[in-house]
């Protein structure tokens, strides 16, 4: 009698098949890299070496969407897209290595967002403040910058919005990052012995309920970033007064070799931060885009209605409207608005022309691909 398993390949055969596939994949990756190098040479001939744009946000978004659309599993769509994200990052580095400024120090969520968006083959450079990220890109010292703009739990990052009011930079893309907060310590300790917790004020707010329930005795100390909090714990800052801990992400934990005493402290399980990619280029339409503007209205009754009504009439979805005080005078305001569509779309162009007549100033911050990953 024949065993049903006789028709199945044995372990050795399966390993041989994996080796064959690995070899084929490796050859194809190198073939893709060679094509990328040829693209770079063609671009230099057509556009000139000084003006060539090697990084095309709309093209990368289209490629990643296609990867996810044609994926048949068993690998998850997003995991497959992340693999291609890294392949594209490697190929782009062969064309033109890129320098990306981010809100530092090393190990922040902003650095994680930068690497998620650009891949690990870029050089990421930490800046001490959001306005310094803007200056680094404006000066040409960095190709692009990454700054946080809003968190699903705590709302907008006002310093980013304020920086746009004075900058000529454009938004070239966005990236969304699920934020998981960890309680980090230098050595394993009973939680009730922790006397002080360092973290950024936003992270402390995102974990408020958990901290109230589990560590009510611990002093909460706000510092400049989660990565700075992790560094302080690693160096034992304040440890002479008791046991210190930090709230920070995985990257900071690995960078400073800290122990995750508790994971996922965030009060909202879907806690997400949105980051913006800032640069000097105007991004063509990718087919699934978003546009951001700043609008300064006249101080008159119905000003906000007149600003918003054209979007409703033309069936354009507003995804964010945020108000900030204007620098032009007391009780005057500017509105930061995100909406679906590209500024080259006929309907969007029509609405922007209409609302420009109702505003003191209308500044287009950029049209860019919606976050893919």
Instruction: Give all strands (DSSP E) within the chain, no chain letters.
Output: 99-103, 123-127, 144-151, 155-156, 170-178, 182-185, 194-199, 219-222, 243-248, 259-262, 272-279, 289-297, 318-325, 333-340, 359-369
Q: What is the pLDDT of residue 7?
A: 66
Of 254, 278, 302, which marks where a domain is finished? 278
Domain presence at residue 135 = yes
What percent of the chain is modeled with pLDDT above 90? 78
pLDDT of residue 137 exceeding 70: yes
pLDDT of residue 5 exceeding 60: no
Largest CA distance in the chain: 92
User: What's the average model confidence in pLDDT over 108-126?
Assistant: 96
Domain presence at residue 326 = yes
Report which of residues 64 and 44 the model is more confident about.
64
What is the tens place of the pLDDT at every residue in 180-200?
999 999 999 999 999 999 999
Give the CATH number, domain containing residue 110. 3.40.190.10
User: What's the average model confidence in pLDDT over 132-160?
Assistant: 93
Of 234, 250, 278, which marks where a domain is finished? 278
Give the CATH number, domain containing residue 297. 3.30.70.260
Of 43, 69, 94, which marks where a domain is finished? 94
Predicted TM-score (pTM) of this structure: 0.89
Q: Do 257 and 296 lie in a common domain?
A: no
Q: Return the C-alpha torsion angle 165, 169, 173, 178, nearest 10.
A: -50
Domain presence at residue 110 = yes
pLDDT of residue 4 exceeding 60: no
What is the tens place of the pLDDT at every residue in 255-294?
999 999 999 999 998 899 999 999 999 999 999 999 999 9
Q: What is the pLDDT of residue 1?
A: 47
pLDDT of residue 368 exceeding 90: yes
Confidence of residue 127 (pLDDT cuts 50, 70, 90): very high
Q: What is the pLDDT of residue 302?
A: 84
What percent of the chain is modeled with pLDDT above 70? 96
C-alpha–C-alpha distance, residues 231 and 257, integer Å: 10
pLDDT of residue 331 exceeding 80: no
Q: Are strands 272-279 and 144-151 parallel, antiparallel or unpaired?
A: antiparallel
Q: Are strands 318-325 and 333-340 parallel, antiparallel or unpaired?
A: antiparallel
C-alpha–C-alpha distance, residues 135 and 163, integer Å: 10
Give the domain range for residue 320.
284-367
Q: What is the pLDDT of residue 47?
A: 76
Q: What is the pLDDT of residue 208?
A: 95
User: What's the average model confidence in pLDDT over 349-353?
Assistant: 96
Domain presence at residue 244 = yes
Which one-letter DSSP state was computed for residue 315? T
Q: Do 187 and 147 lie in a common domain?
A: no
Q: What is the pLDDT of residue 237?
A: 94
User: What's the average model confidence in pLDDT over 337-353?
Assistant: 97
Q: Are 245 and 183 in contact (CB under 8 A)?
A: yes
Q: Do 255 and 307 lie in a common domain?
A: no
C-alpha–C-alpha distance, residues 60 and 45, integer Å: 22
Assign 286 to helix, strand or coil: coil
Domain presence at residue 344 = yes
Q: Do 49 and 61 lie in a common domain?
A: yes
Q: Are 215 and 287 in contact (CB under 8 A)?
A: no
Q: What is the pLDDT of residue 297?
A: 84
Q: How far is CA 94 from CA 43, 88, 270, 297, in A?
A: 14, 10, 36, 47
Q: Do 186 and 136 lie in a common domain?
A: no
User: What's the average model confidence in pLDDT over 42-70?
Assistant: 88
User: What's the average model confidence in pLDDT over 11-38?
Assistant: 95
Q: Do 167 and 242 lie in a common domain?
A: no
Q: How many domains does the chain have?
A: 4
Place of tokens 């084929």: 24
Q: What is the pLDDT of residue 310?
A: 96
Domain presence at residue 4 = no
Domain presence at residue 74 = yes
Give the CATH number, domain containing residue 37. 1.20.59.10
Domain presence at residue 1 = no
Q: What is the pLDDT of residue 265?
A: 94
Mean confidence (pLDDT) of the chain: 92
Confidence of residue 9 (pLDDT cuts 50, 70, 90): confident
């Amino acid at each position: 009698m024949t065993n049903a398993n006789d028709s199945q390949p044995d372990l050795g055969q399966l390993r041989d098949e994996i080796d064959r596939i690995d070899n084929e994949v490796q050859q194809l990756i190198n073939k893709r890299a060679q094509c990328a190098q040829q693209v770079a040479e063609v671009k230099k001939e057509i556009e000139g070496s000084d003006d060539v744009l090697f990084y095309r946000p709309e093209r990368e978004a289209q490629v990643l969407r296609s990867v996810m659309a044609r994926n048949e599993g068993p690998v998850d769509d997003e995991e497959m897209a992340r693999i291609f994200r890294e392949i594209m990052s490697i190929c782009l580095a062969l064309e033109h290595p890129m320098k990306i400024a981010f809100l530092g120090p090393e190990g922040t969520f902003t650095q994680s967002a930068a690497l998620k968006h650009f891949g690990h083959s870029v050089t990421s450079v930490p800046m001490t403040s959001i306005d310094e990220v803007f200056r680094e890109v404006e000066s040409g010292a960095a190709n692009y910058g990454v700054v946080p703009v809003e968190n699903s739990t705590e709302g907008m990052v006002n310093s980013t919005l304020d920086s746009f009011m004075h900058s000529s930079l454009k938004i070239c893309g966005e990236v969304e990052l699920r934020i998981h907060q960890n309680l980090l310590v230098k050595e394993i300790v009973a939680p009730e012995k922790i006397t002080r917790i360092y973290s950024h004020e936003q992270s402390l707010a995102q974990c408020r309920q958990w901290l109230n329930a589990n560590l009510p005795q611990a002093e909460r100390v706000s510092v400049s970033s989660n990565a700075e909090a992790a560094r302080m714990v690693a160096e034992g800052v304040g440890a002479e007064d008791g046991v210190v801990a930090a709230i920070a992400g995985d990257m900071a934990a690995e960078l400073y070799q800290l122990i995750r005493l508790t994971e996922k402290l965030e009060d909202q399980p879907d806690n997400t931060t949105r980051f913006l990619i800032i640069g000097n280029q105007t991004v063509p339409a990718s087919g699934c885009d978003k546009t951001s503007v700043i609008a300064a209205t006249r101080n008159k009754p119905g000003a906000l209605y007149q600003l918003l009504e054209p979007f409703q009439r033309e069936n354009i979805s507003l995804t964010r409207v945020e108000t900030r005080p204007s620098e032009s005078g007391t009780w005057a305001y500017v509105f930061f608005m995100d909406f679906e569509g590209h500024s080259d779309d006929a309907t969007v162009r029509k609405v922007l022309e209409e609302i420009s007549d109702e505003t003191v100033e209308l500044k287009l911050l950029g049209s860019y691909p919606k976050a893919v990953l």
